[in-house]
Amino acid sequence: MEEKKVIYYTDELNEEFSTAKIEPRVIDENYKYIHKNPIWNITSYIVQNFLSMPIKVLYAKIKFRIKYIGKEKLKQYKNEGYFIYGNHTQPFADTFIPSIANYPKRNYFIVNPENISMKYLKTIVEMLGAIPIPSNKKAMKNFLEAIEKRVQSKYSITIYPEAHIWPYYTKIRPFKTVSFKYPIQLSKPSFCMTNTYQKYGENKIKIVTYIDGPFFPNKELTIKEQQQDLRDQIYNMMVERSKNSNIEYIKYIKKEN
């Protein structure tokens, strides 16, 4: 492991520490969330679940020695669509850690527009399951229809409610309730995956991912209260699991005002 890096921050909700600087494309009402071309869809399936999977598994095993705890919880819902919430601590590995855990179920991701704005890679990223957040209200209808279609097709959708990447961060940042409306609207279960960083050998680091759930909305509450309750259930579980991290590759220090 290299010498520990230090990052100073001021805002847990809005600061971004990914090194990639990409100009985001506009996701408007003309963006095609659902492709009707059968060739595109077949190619997407092959790319997502066959061609890319050996690369995902090898990368996760070789670089991070990844270990999953609780994968059996997902298997109980192999015939149903669901949502996965995770902590956002890897710019590349976060795109496939959930996909490995619930394979062979297809997994989709709600992503920022930057993720599908790379000139030569945007189509591949879309085929791998990216569902970009709309840039305007006119595109929202298509966005929501895509989420519903994927979940009703018995696929999973991964969401990173922290929204911004903090590489190797070992705690859980506070996050908003907005992304928890989808399981409520569609009456689907939710799971959380908490990536922790644990040492092995002589100061080396590995990822241990804890899978918890299912979590369900409390239908006795109002919609807003359900969102808050579901968010709190998942947040509290992730905070508890994050305590299993026992090594810091990057140290984050909050600046004093």
pLDDT band for position 257 (cuts 50, 70, 90): low
- What pLDDT, in 10s, does the model give residues 183-228? 999 999 999 999 999 999 888 999 999 999 999 989 999 999 999 9
pLDDT band for position 256 (cuts 50, 70, 90): confident
pLDDT of residue 234: 98
- What pLDDT, in 10s, does the model give residues 87-116? 999 988 999 999 999 999 999 999 998 888
* Reported pTM: 0.94
pLDDT of residue 24: 79
pLDDT above 90 for 121: no
Distances from the Cα of 187 to the Cαs of 74, 173, 219, 233, 236, in angstroms? 17, 26, 10, 16, 21
Cβ-contact 156, 147 below 8 angstroms: no
pLDDT of residue 158: 98
pLDDT above 90 for 127: yes
pLDDT above 90 for 19: no
pLDDT of residue 115: 86
pLDDT above 80 for 139: yes
Q: How many Cβ atoms sit within 10 Å of the Cβ of residue 234? A: 25
pLDDT above 70 for 3: no
pLDDT above 90 for 251: yes
Average pLDDT value over all residues in the chain: 93
Which amino acid is it at 179? Answer: S
Q: What whole-number distance in Å separates Cα of residue 149 and Cα of residue 33?
A: 10
pLDDT above 60 for 2: no
Phi (first) and psi of residue 38, to 5 degrees: -60, -30
Report percent pLDDT > 70 for the chain: 98
pLDDT above 90 for 6: yes
pLDDT above 60 for 38: yes
pLDDT above 90 for 40: yes
Q: What whole-number distance in Å separates Cα of residue 105 and Cα of residue 36?
A: 21
pLDDT above 80 for 243: yes
